[in-house]
Structure formats: structure tokens, C-alpha cells
Amino acid sequence: MERLAINGGKPVRKTPIYYGHQAIDEDDINAVVDVLKSEFLTCGPAVEVLEQKLCTITGAKYAVAVSNGTAALHAACYAADIQSGDEVITTALTFAASSNCILYMDAIPVFADIDPTTYNIDPRSIEEHICEKTKAVIAVDFTGQAAELDKIRSICNKYNLILIEDGAHSIGTKYNDQFVGSIADLTTFSFHPVKTVTGGEGGAILTNDDKFYQKMCLFRSHGITRNVRLMDFTEKYEDIGNDLGGWYYQQIELGYNYRITDIQAALITSQLDKLTRFKLRRKEIEEQYNRAFKSFPGIILQKNVSKSDTVKHIFVIQLDIDKLSVGRKEIYDALKAENICCNVHYIPVYFFPYYKKLGYKQGMCPIAEKLYKRIITIPLYPAMSNEDVDSVIAAVKKVIGFYLK
Ligand SMILES: *Cc1c(COP(=O)(O)O)cnc(C)c1O
């Protein structure tokens, strides 16, 4: 058997490859340069173009572009009118932002467990956690596969809950032939560089609801409006009276500065032109991995959600730990020595000290916790060459093959 790089052997690759990476072409660069030469760097026309494009692509009625995906989740919670003491159900297996946004509202995150095969939030676990304080569900499309939206929607209807979909992984994914963004009451996207489409940073919320849309527009910019129809004139101030000059605005809510720049918006719009290409390439790589690992001992593959036509965001392999002589850390380190730089998605949110201080305890979501100990995210992004893909496959087989019992 070939000697592992971690034991002094020759690494499968000469240069490191990471689990995710942006793909920036000349036209993306030109789109950014055009903005830099234009009149507006922020709050200009590029933001509206992006919002229009997101609506066209997804079929949603409204889009609000914001500074990042976390701000998008915060805005969605605000639009959903989540109040202090409300409970909001989300998955344990996600990035902290999916749950932190609930804390921003002084509300209570309640963690539902996952399906052991698709790793998405389990609708049955959602229903088990519902009580009179429950206000909303934040379902995450883990790895880009849509959550079980039919089932989650009917639970939300039954208990009168708002459905927020954290689509940070799933832009371009379709569920029942409908694009993510047009399905839930509110859907959020992230445009961080590891995501399918990037603006450096950036985010957006999509909705079909006019009231949600108006609220999020205010929320994104301090709660300030120039729209006279929204203004409050019950008090008459001597100095302004009804003298509504062109400068006049009011702050009518407490919002934030969650605006996105035109520089980012132009980059995201340019990237969205390539979404179909990105989707195809991601699918190709996913298929190569599935073929290579399908019957390889020591590896368990994620099961497909049948209604989801997925743009795969990350490729997660589950280690069949009982068949291996070492744990996940040793596999991770050995792959790193082969120059395959993996990651783990995710440490269950309530494992973090901050959540522990709030009273969350290990053992709440046993399926997510068990899975966490067994998963590794291997490189997947459209700019990978076929040689890159082959090197990942070779390294994974080399390392896991070596440690098979
Ligand atoms: C990336 C991510 C976010 C946060 O997005 P940012 O743009 O980094 O703020 C939220 N939820 C999930 C599931 C993510 O992967």
C-alpha cells in the first residue's frame, strides 16, 4: 500500500486545494471596474439590477439585497415580526448565523434534529418541538439540497408559523420544479466567496409578500424612509411644519445599516449570469464523486432529496467509523498532508460556549451529534479542473483505504 504523506510519503497533490473557492472571470472584473468608474458606489442602480435579476431567476416577487447572508436572516426574522420570548425552530446542523438571527430578536432558538440520511432538518422533529410560543421555522437547505419543504410547509400551515428558508447553500436549486426563493414565506441567500455565487460579501431576502418587502427595505437602511405615504405627521414641528423639501426623510423604525454596495451588487449580478454553468459543473463533480465512492468501504454518501434538483454547494462524506481504525481527525489530518484541505460542516450550533451559557446541553439532537463526529467536507467548486477532481478522489481512497480495518 502506498505510504501516506502524513507518514512521510509523497502527497497526492503538489499544491493545496480547499473545500470551496470562488470562480472569478474577466467579465466579473469588468463589471466591478464599470461601477468604480460610475457615479454610484453604493445605493445606486446596480443594487436594483441585482434585485430584479434575483426575482427573474427565482420567480419571487420581491428581492432585498443586503450586506451579507447573516443580515438577510436578521431582516427575515424582523419581517416575520419575531418578538422577545418567541420560539423559532431551526436545525442543529448549520452555521451559527441560522440561529444567531433568532437571538438578535431576543427570541429563543429551538433545535430540531436532522434526517440521518439527507442531513436536512427532520419535519417530524420540527413538529415535536412546536408549542404555543413557536412563531417560525428556519429551514436550512443543507449542502444545497432543498429541505423537505412540502412537509414543512404543511406543518407551518397547521400551526400558523412563518417559514423562513436559509438558502445560503441553495441558490439555483429547484424543489418540485420551483426555484428556491419563491417557495418559503422568506428565503435568504448569502454571497460569501465559498457560496455558489459571490460578491465578496453580500446577501438577499426573497419574498412574495408586499408587507415583508416594505419592512425589510426600511430595516436595511436605519428604518429611514423618504416615502411620504409611510411618514408620520401626527406631530407638527415648528421648524419643519409640512414643508416637505427634497431633503426630507423620517426614521419610522429602528433599522440597521445593512446596505450592500454597487460594487458587490455588480459582481453578484455578473456571477448570476453563470449560475447555469456553475450548476452543471457542480453536478458533474458531484456525479464523479458519487461514482467513485458509491461502493468504497468506509464511506457513506448523503442521500438525495427526491424532489430537489440540487445545485450542490458542498460535498460531505460520512465516514463509516466502525470500519476504520482511526477517527475523523486522523482522516482530516491525513488528507491535509496529501494537500486536500477539507472542512467540517457543521459543529452543532449549541455545542458552542455561548450557547452553553444560555443553557443548551449536549444530547438534544442525537442524530446531528452522531453525524457531526463522522463528516468531512471535501473540495467542490466549479473552477476545479478534472485533474483536481481526480486528485481528491485518489487522496480520499488512499487515506480511507489505508485506515480500513
Ligand atoms: C454562509 C451561511 C450563512 C451566513 O452568510 P454570510 O453571508 O456569511 O453572513 C448563513 N447560513 C448558512 C447555512 C450559511 O452557510
Q: What does pTM read for this prediction?
A: 0.97
- Distance in Å, CA 49 to ligand 1 centroid: 23
- Boundary of a domain, candidates 237, 256, 272: 272
Nearest alpha carbon, ligand 1 atom 2: 168
- Distance in Å, CA 333 to ligand 1 centroid: 25
Residues of the chain predicted below pLDDT 70: 236-243
Nearest alpha carbon, ligand 1 atom 5: 69
Q: What is the pLDDT of residue 264?
A: 98
Within this chain, do residues 103 and 129 fall inside the same structural domain, yes or no? yes
Choose among 7, 16, 116, 111: nearest CA to 374.
116
Within this chain, do residues 310 and 256 fall inside the same structural domain, yes or no? no
Three cell numbers, residue 24: 472569478
Within this chain, do residues 93 and 123 fall inside the same structural domain, yes or no? yes
Domain residues for the domain of 100 are: 26-272
- Boundary of a domain, candidates 244, 272, 300: 272
Q: What is the pLDDT of residue 366?
A: 98
- Distance in Å, CA 227 to ligand 1 centroid: 32
33 Cβ partners below 8 Å, 6+ apart?
none
Three cell numbers, residue 75: 431582516
CB 399 within 8 A of CB 319: no
Q: What is the pLDDT of residue 234?
A: 78
* C-beta 145 within 6 A of ligand 1: no
Within this chain, do residues 196 and 303 fall inside the same structural domain, yes or no? no
* C-beta 198 within 6 A of ligand 1: no
Q: What is the pLDDT of residue 228?
A: 84
Within this chain, do residues 238 and 204 fall inside the same structural domain, yes or no? yes
DSSP assignments along 205-252, one per residue = EEES-HHHHHHHHHHHBTTEE--GGG---SS--TTTTT---TT--EE-
CATH number at residue 361: 3.90.1150.10
- Number of residues that this document lists for the chain: 405
Q: What is the pLDDT of residue 247?
A: 86
Instruction: State the residue for C-alpha cell 451559557.
Output: 357
* C-beta 192 within 6 A of ligand 1: yes
* C-beta 208 within 6 A of ligand 1: no
Compute and round to an integer the Cα radius of gyration of the chain.
23
* C-beta 169 within 6 A of ligand 1: yes
Within this chain, do residues 43 and 144 fall inside the same structural domain, yes or no? yes
- Distance in Å, CA 190 to ligand 1 centroid: 6
Within this chain, do residues 121 and 148 fall inside the same structural domain, yes or no? yes
Q: What is the pLDDT of residue 231?
A: 87
**Residue range 329-373, pLDDT digits in tens:** 999 999 999 999 999 999 999 999 999 999 999 999 999 999 999
Within this chain, do residues 265 and 344 fall inside the same structural domain, yes or no? no
Within this chain, do residues 218 and 288 fall inside the same structural domain, yes or no? no
**Residue 72 CA: which ligand 1 atom is closest?**
9
- Distance in Å, CA 191 to ligand 1 centroid: 8
Q: Are strands 186-190 and 162-166 parallel, antiparallel or unpaired?
A: parallel
Within this chain, do residues 64 and 156 fall inside the same structural domain, yes or no? yes
Nearest alpha carbon, ligand 1 atom 14: 168
* C-beta 121 within 6 A of ligand 1: no
Q: What is the pLDDT of residue 245?
A: 80
Q: What is the pLDDT of residue 2?
A: 87
Degrees, nearest 5: CA angle 158-162-165: 115
Instruction: State the residue for C-alpha cell 420570548.
Output: 85
Burial of residue 282 (CB within 10 Å: 0-12, 13-18, 19+) is buried
Instruction: Among 120, 186, 192, name the best residue to mutate to test ligand 1's pocket (greatest count of ligand atoms within 8 A of Cβ).
Output: 192
Q: What is the pLDDT of residue 237?
A: 62
CATH number at residue 160: 3.40.640.10
* C-beta 190 within 6 A of ligand 1: yes
Three cell numbers, residue 238: 415648528
- Boundary of a domain, candidates 220, 251, 272: 272
**Alpha-carbon span 199 to 184, nearest angstrom:** 24
What is the number of domains present in the chain? Answer: 2
CB 92 within 8 A of CB 350: yes
- Distance in Å, CA 169 to ligand 1 centroid: 8
Choose among 329, 317, 320: nearest CA to 377.
317
Within this chain, do residues 166 and 306 fall inside the same structural domain, yes or no? no
Within this chain, do residues 199 and 307 fall inside the same structural domain, yes or no? no
Q: What is the pLDDT of residue 82?
A: 98
- Distance in Å, CA 98 to ligand 1 centroid: 7
**Alpha-carbon span 396 to 317, nearest angstrom:** 10
* C-beta 5 within 6 A of ligand 1: no
